[in-house]
Structures are given as structure tokens and as C-alpha cells.
Amino acid sequence: MSETAPVVIFTHGASLLERRGLLYALAGRDIRARYRQSFLGIYWAILNPILQTAVYALVFTRLLRVGSEGLPFVVLYFSGVAWWNFFSTAVTGAMGSVVSQVHLLEKNRIPVEVLPLAAVLARTLDLAISGVVLVALALWFGPGVAPTAWLVAPMLIVGTAATVGVSLLVAALNVRYRDVSQLVNLVFTLGFFLTPVVYDVASVPERWRMWLLLNPIATAIHGTRAGMFAGTVPPLAEVLPGTLVAVVLLVAGIVAFRRLQATFTEVL
């Protein structure tokens, strides 16, 4: 393709805007498929992160005696789990979306990128439910919700941009290289410990902290905790690196997907 990155991104956005109804429909179908014939249904979106939080609390506070840096452990862990689950499940769902739904491409003339994006959009429901539960936990266990909770909004943009970018990239690569899923699972295993899910950024030595905050999901978790519970706005130096990386990931994901899309017919 000879198109420049700005042109690719503009045409990508315009195409999606025209087909937003299809995007919503596919996301809704994804949600229904996940919870169909499930005893608890949508309540798994609440129960799953709560159970994960309970396990982490048992391991890290009772067995390893890891501190929670002033926050109730349930609030600290749940805020990290909510973000990490959104990112990991969205990327995993998007990764196989094109391969598993190739029949939709054969029967309907739809933009291929709608498939991974619908998978990401479907996971925003779980993130929204987790957000409501997090507020309830903060009110019940303390410290409540601070006036600076508005910071969650830009953190949502940062985290979602990074998630969309990575999702588009792995979805495109997975069409050509089916072992991408193995690599992604390995990266997730390592990434979990390099993301402040079960610890606070403040507990990381300062010389390593800025490297950690290059991770956009780490930035989103850090900003969410600071804004919602600590009542502070992190310095620009702490949120700007991860924000820039999120933008780079989004642009790279869009451009790579559109360029690899031309080769999909060779392998599908």
C-alpha cells in the first residue's frame, strides 16, 4: 500500500463510523454467545474478578505478606484485575476473531477490521461492570471515591487505545501465523508481573518506575488508583510515556492490519 499512516487511519475511522450499527450488532452477539447456556450468565463478569481478587489476596497478603501501600487490598487488587482482564480477554478474543468468523466475510461484504474491534467492544461491558463493583468496594472498604475520579476518563482512553492497537495487530498476524497465540500467551504471563495488578507503582524502585510506566495498561491502572482513591493527579512525567506508547500501538495496529489485510485471501 502506498497510503500514508494518517490516510489509512482516517479511512479506517470513516469506514467504521459508517458501519457502527454492524459493530454494535457483532459485539452484542459476542456477549450473548459468551453467556448463553451459562448458569450465572452476565454475573460472571462480577464473580470472576472478585474470585481472582480473593485468590490474590490470600497468596500475596497472607502467604507472601505483600503490603497494599495504604489501600485496602481488595480495592488495590480489584482495580488491577479489572484492567488486566479487560486487556487480556479483549486481545485474546480479537486474536481469533477473523479466523473463526471467516464465514461472515464470505457471505457479507463487511470490513474485516470490524471483527476484532467487535471483540474489544464486547469486553467493555465487563470493564464497565467491574468499574461499578470497584466503586462499591471503595465505598464499603474505604477509602471512598475522591473528587479527582474524573482522571479515570483519560485513563480509559489510554487503556482502550492500547488494547485496540494490540488487538488489531495480533488479529492480523494470527491469520498468517497460527502460532501467534502461543507467543501472546507467553507475553501475557510475563506482562502480568510487569503490570501493577497485584502491587502499587509506588512500591517499585524509582529507577525502574518509568520503565514500568511505558506500559499503557500500567499507566491506566496507576492513573485510575491515583484519581479514584488517592485524590491526586499523577505528574505528567508518569502518565505521558504510557500515553505516547498507547498512541503508537494504536497507529501501528491500524496500519499493520490494513496492510496485512490484502494477504488474508491467500490463507483463509
- What are the extents of the domains in the chain? 5-267
- Are the C-beta atoms of 257 and 169 separated by less than 8 Å? yes
pLDDT tens digits for 204-257? 888 899 999 999 999 999 999 999 998 999 999 999 999 999 999 999 999 999
Dist CA 163 CA 217 (whole Å)? 8
Residue 268 confidence (pLDDT) above 90: no
User: DSSP for 69-120?
Assistant: TTS-HHHHHHHHHHHHHHHHHHHHHHHTHHHHTHHHHHHS---TTHHHHHHH
Give the pLDDT of residue 223. Answer: 96
Mean pLDDT, residues 139-144 taken together: 88
Give the pLDDT of residue 2. Answer: 45
Mean pLDDT, residues 90-112 taken together: 80
Give the pLDDT of residue 14. Answer: 55
Dist CA 59 CA 153 (whole Å)? 31
pLDDT tens digits for 41-80? 777 778 888 888 888 878 776 665 666 567 888 899 999 9
Residue 21 confidence (pLDDT) above 70: yes
Q: What is the mean pLDDT of the chain?
A: 85
In Å, what is the CA distance from 205 to each residue of 200, 201, 212, 223? 11, 9, 10, 18
Give the pLDDT of residue 69. Answer: 62
